[in-house]
Structure 1
């Protein structure tokens, strides 16, 4: 005869595996006796709370589990992730380092530590950690996504696009990979692919306000009325202004006053267009998106 508590723990593991954290908590509520303080109960509850962005609760649960059962790499991984989400980077680093002392080759712990380094502005150190993780999990969406994030931190837009595309090839439905691919596509001038990926990522994570805002901005950039502004999207506005003024006065200096006047009128029209059109399109899109 099956143990009901064991069945609940197995179902909790199933719901966690398919990213249904609320169902994990429902299953764990029914535990009693020894099963309620089982190592897996603490791990699953902490992981589910972290997925639901209830990180303060997750930290308390995971620390209780560690106090009850001693250090385990999986529990330390989720503790580090919850602490990082709360901005408690030194504590997160300590959790990951403790986990790595138990299993130096754990790819999840290495990637978690890399994300702490990225948050602390240590992109080169993060890159080394990601490559260590890659040596143990070479065909991993998490590794490719982390490589894309490192490339972004280092200002390597093309590398970011390559790694995010690779991440999508491993898991086309992964919302994090989609968000990274969308950002990389926008940075590399592919506005349509960027919008499609960001829209998909925002739909998969409707509670993520930042992701929704990024998708909205990508939608703005894809509007036909924004087409004249796209070539200048990645250029410093001050550089554009200096260049335009240089052309206007340069033409005048060589005696081409008519051309200078014509270019000045075109430049003035473009400036007015750039000031007026984006706010109007943004207002229309915000109304359509219901915000």
Structure 2
């Protein structure tokens, strides 16, 4: 392979590594003949398409590469991730298992398979796979991120926050780590940090509607008018309602009628506030955002 072609392949890999998949595809467009069939061309093109959420195209490219070169763990890893993103979980599992049959200790394959398990609702199995990956790559940012995802699935908010903070420490600009940290911060009551991380992640991935919605919800919760409602944000509304009614009737039974009436009026005012203010604040923020 001549030097210009080799340089183009190296540049394609460089753009992919630093988070510019569009530039990767531009570099690969210039390859012709046998160079376009190099295993790295399949790998870089498939990974770039997957990063851009063009997963159906990525699957076709990666399957072509596997047909050309046979089973190859890096190709199988990206193929499995693309299939998972398309919701084809049995096919994704098959791809990861084939990769692991060739390299049972590959952390990327183990984490990829764990994410398939999470998508299938198998959080305990996913946790075991992530811990196995951690035994081979204990300092990996991907392991910390995967641990945070497992903790979220298991409902362990504080563990999620700890692991997402670890993932963020590896790369403070990584949008996926930012999204995990923002979600964990919101779940553990740190709405200010949650909004900062979610807003940063949404700005880095403007095409992600779910991420934008999460950032807007965090912005809403951080508005000063929402301050009286924050202590109740993580509580079950039915439990809060039953508790308030119990207090009102408890005070009345105890012979504290005036205090019971005062508490009932305060509770009624709070209920009206909670029904009226959030929609108004949301509408005002949406108008500022132009939506």
- TM-score tier after normalising by the smaller chain length: over 0.9
Structure 1, residues 31-68: CA drift from partner, whole Å, max 9, x if none? 11111111111111111111111111110110011001
Structure 2 residue runs without a partner (length 5+): none
Using structure 1 for the length normalisation, give the TM-score. 0.98
Q: Which residue number in structure 2 is paired with residue 287 of structure 1? A: 287
The alpha-carbon deviation at position 19 of structure 1 amounts to 1.3
**Does the CA contact (< 8 Å) of 1:5 and 1:32 recur in 2?**
no
* Distance (whole Å) between structure 2 residues aligned to residue 233 and residue 266 of structure 1: 18
Structure 1, residues 98-131: CA drift from partner, whole Å, max 9, x if none? 1111111111100000000000000000000001
Q: Which residue number in structure 2 is paired with residue 173 of structure 1? A: 173
**Does the CA contact (< 8 Å) of 1:198 and 1:214 recur in 2?**
yes
1:254-265 aligned at under 5 Å gives the runs 254-265=254-265
Q: Which residue number in structure 2 is paired with residue 187 of structure 1? A: 187
1:261-276 aligned at under 5 Å gives the runs 261-276=261-276
* Distance (whole Å) between structure 2 residues aligned to residue 212 and residue 277 of structure 1: 21
* Distance (whole Å) between structure 1 residues aligned to residue 173 and residue 258 of structure 2: 56
Q: Which residue number in structure 2 is paired with residue 247 of structure 1? A: 247
Return structure 1 stretches of 4+ with deviation > 6 angstroms. Answer: none
Partner-residue secondary structure (3-state), 2:234: coil
Using structure 2 for the length normalisation, give the TM-score. 0.98
**Does the CA contact (< 8 Å) of 1:202 and 1:208 recur in 2?**
yes
* Distance (whole Å) between structure 2 residues aligned to residue 74 and residue 19 of structure 1: 18
- The aligned length equals 291
* Distance (whole Å) between structure 1 residues aligned to residue 12 and residue 77 of structure 2: 18
Q: Which residue number in structure 2 is paired with residue 32 of structure 1? A: 32
Q: Which residue number in structure 2 is paired with residue 238 of structure 1? A: 238
Q: Which residue number in structure 2 is paired with residue 204 of structure 1? A: 204
Structure 1, residues 65-89: CA drift from partner, whole Å, max 9, x if none? 1001111110001000100000000
* Distance (whole Å) between structure 1 residues aligned to residue 266 and residue 192 of structure 2: 28
1:220 equivalenced with 2:237 (yes/no): no
* Distance (whole Å) between structure 1 residues aligned to residue 41 and residue 186 of structure 2: 42
* Distance (whole Å) between structure 1 residues aligned to residue 149 and residue 247 of structure 2: 39
The alpha-carbon deviation at position 10 of structure 1 amounts to 1.2
* CA RMSD across the alignment: 1.0
Structure 1 residue runs without a partner (length 5+): none
